[in-house]
Amino acid sequence: MPPDYGEGQRQQSQLADRVLSWRTDPDNSRVGCYLHGEVGHVYTLGVHGKISNLLVTKQALERDGISLVRTDRGGDITYHGPGQLLGYPILDLHRLGLGVKGYIEALESAVMLTLSAYAIATIRLADAPGVWLEPKGARPLRKICAVGVHVNQGITTHGFALNVHTDLGYFTRINPCGFTSRGVTSMAQELGNAPPFAEVDGLLSQRLAQVLNIKIGSFSAGSHPTV
């Protein structure tokens, strides 16, 4: 994943076209590519996202050098930045035999399995994609990983955003995913100290391969191996 979000989107689009072209090649058994890593500070709006969920002015973002980008993924507004693991599997769902709902559940399962390795218990919600932690004491229901995808001609783009050691202060500038009464958390906040970013990245790549029953060619951060 390149550090510039816009460049990542351009790469994602190019890779989606490439994956679609593989479908007509009888000698090609590959089902996709995987972009993953960190990006610089950016707020993104989903296709139905409401600008009213941005709680500061665009001018305030510009002063801080933070972009606001409208995307074609599902969901509302969220934040991406350092310390957050972005994973964008660009896959041919036709070849995988998956529907959109099953694919989203697979992404959630891979993240949940990864977090369970660090003794972080998580749940799903019927009304909101992503991976959540149940209320605990004074702490509300809170999201640790956002999930938002786009599917065109059976090819997936976008994916998940797992807060490893993300600065959660950036979420105070928005209603994350459009919610006003639900919180946001990170692995660092839940554990006291975050595990190494590369370790989480590698483990999540493995769990993703396990859940989708695919082989990911490389676990190196920032790469886009074929699968």
Average pLDDT over residues 110-115: 99
> What pLDDT shows up at residue 226?
60
Read off the pLDDT band of 63 (50, 70, 90): very high
Distance in angstroms between the alpha carbons of the first and the last residue of the chain = 16
Tell me the fold of 5-212: BirA Bifunctional Protein; domain 2 (3.30.930)
Q: Note whether 81 and 167 are within 8 A (CB).
A: yes
The tokens for 93 are 């769902």
Average pLDDT over residues 62-82: 95
Read off the pLDDT band of 221 (50, 70, 90): very low
Average pLDDT over residues 184-212: 97
Question: 2-10 long-range contacts, Cβ below 8 Å, gap at least 24?
Answer: 2/37, 2/39, 2/222, 3/37, 3/38, 3/39, 3/40, 4/39, 4/40, 5/39, 5/40, 5/42, 5/44, 5/67, 5/69, 5/80, 6/67, 6/69, 8/35, 8/39, 8/86, 8/88, 9/69, 9/71
For the chain, which residues make up each domain, given as ranges?
5-212
Least-confidence region, from 24-33, 40-49, 67-76, 147-156: 24-33
Residue 219 has pLDDT above 80, yes or no: no
Q: Distance (Å, rounded) from C-alpha 187 to C-alpha 99?
A: 30
Task: Choose, from 177, 200, 209, 214, the residue flagged as catalytic.
Answer: 177
Active site residue 33: no
Residue 7: beta bridge partners? Answer: none
Residue 107 has pLDDT above 90, yes or no: yes
> What pLDDT shows up at residue 224?
54
Instruction: Name the one residue in this structure whose structure tokens are 């890593």.
Output: 37
Read off the pLDDT band of 227 (50, 70, 90): low
The tokens for 207 are 């769990």
User: pTM to 2 decimals?
Assistant: 0.93
Residue 52 has pLDDT above 80, yes or no: yes
